[in-house]
Copies of this chain bind each other. A is one copy, B any other.
Amino acid sequence: MRINDLDTPVVVVDVDVMERNLRRAADYTRRHGLALRPHTKTHKTPEIARRQVELGAPGIAVAKVGEAEVMADAGLDDILIAYPQVGAQKMHRLMALCERARVRVALDSEESATQIARAAAAAGHTIGILVEVDTGMRRCGLPIGPELVALCRKVRDLPGLEFLGVQVYQGHVRGALAEREKHLVEENARLRRLYDTLSSASLSCAVISGGSTPNLAQSHLLDGLTEVRPGTYVFNDRNTIETGACAMEDVALHVIATVVSTAVSGQAIIDGGSKTFSSDLVHGSAERGHGIAVEDPGVFITRMNEEHGVLDLGAATREYRVGDRVTIVPNHVCTVVNLHDQLALHRAGEVVGAYRVAGRGKLR
């Protein structure tokens, strides 16, 4: 069966491109002595996580305990939950997870550290902790300073916890080459300040975990990293292309949709909208729309509702008729995968299998 025989909208993954993406990152990190701990948020698929480990990853990263459980069910046994954990239910599940996998957790508050320590000590576990530091994303992570030092010491001293090091997320180091190099220089200045602060406080870090897909190929230029946690590189997407981190031919995942209406002139409606693609924008720009047509790259989804994607045909080089199929590179592949229960696998358009997205919708 060909992918063009599959009913739409459908997510298809080119296994050869995916394998090339996985190998390229594995080879690169091996060459530079970096541990590659892929964030599985992008694929949420145990089969792909296992392949990443086969290619050399010491373990994986996830955001939620529920994602960790899915991966542990599939035999993944070294899991970083790269997201702060709080609350009784989370502690309970975290301890159960420790029975069957080596679990590390990132956190940035005394509250989270104390809760995990109490649960771990009671259960007889020792959980490796990365303290999260904010170097520019302004999301999670303490600023470099006394509060960070105090939390690292707390983690080092609490029974049930093992202070492993720090976690940063460097999604802000991106952009075209000149811009990215400027960001790299700035980021390295912050990293050196971080290392100075930690070593002045006699805090020794076995792990400095950072990186992200937009700067994956520059990870060795980020001072002192021991580990990187890219996610998107497995599939890539329009965002990755636009950050300059990959080319169109490195995109492994596409959405095939069908034109269902051409009734309003100048546009074609495809049978997928935000329920298929998510509403994520390209770098926050509504003008850039929601995905580009592979066969006709001047054409993109200019607006959408849940089930309607509007292709503006102003720059079209072909005719669009009801029933025609369109192959779309989505803006943000992670949120696309989370909307689909299955990924169809193909090799040059021939369907060769399917993966169930077992980690989809694991919100907790």
Contact = CB atoms under 8 A, between A and B. Distances in A.
Nearest to A151: B263
Nearest to A42: B306
Contacts of A260: 83-86, 109, 112, 140
A138 B264 contact: yes
A94 to B, nearest CB: 12
B307 A83 contact: yes
A106 to B, nearest CB: 10
A153 B306 CA distance: 30
Max chain B CB contacts within 10 Å: which of A83, A258, A263, A276? A263
Nearest to A90: B7
A282 interface: no
A361 B8 CA distance: 13
Interface in A101-153: 108-109, 111-112, 132, 134, 138-143, 147
Interface string A268-295: 0101101110111100101000000000
Contacts of A108: 261, 263
- Oligomer: number of copies: 2
A280 B134 CA distance: 27
Nearest to A362: B275
Contacts of A305: 139
A314 interface: no
A30 B89 CA distance: 46
Contact of A306 (B89, B263, B274, B335): B335
A200 to B, nearest CB: 20
B280 A279 contact: yes
B8 A308 contact: no
A341 interface: yes
A267 B142 CA distance: 12
A335 B275 contact: yes
A50 interface: no
Interface in A305-323: 305-308, 310, 321-323
Interface of A: 7-10, 41, 63-64, 83-87, 89-90, 108-109, 111-112, 132, 134, 138-143, 147, 258, 260-264, 267, 269, 271-272, 274-276, 278-281, 284, 286, 305-308, 310, 321-323, 334-335, 338-341, 361, 363-364
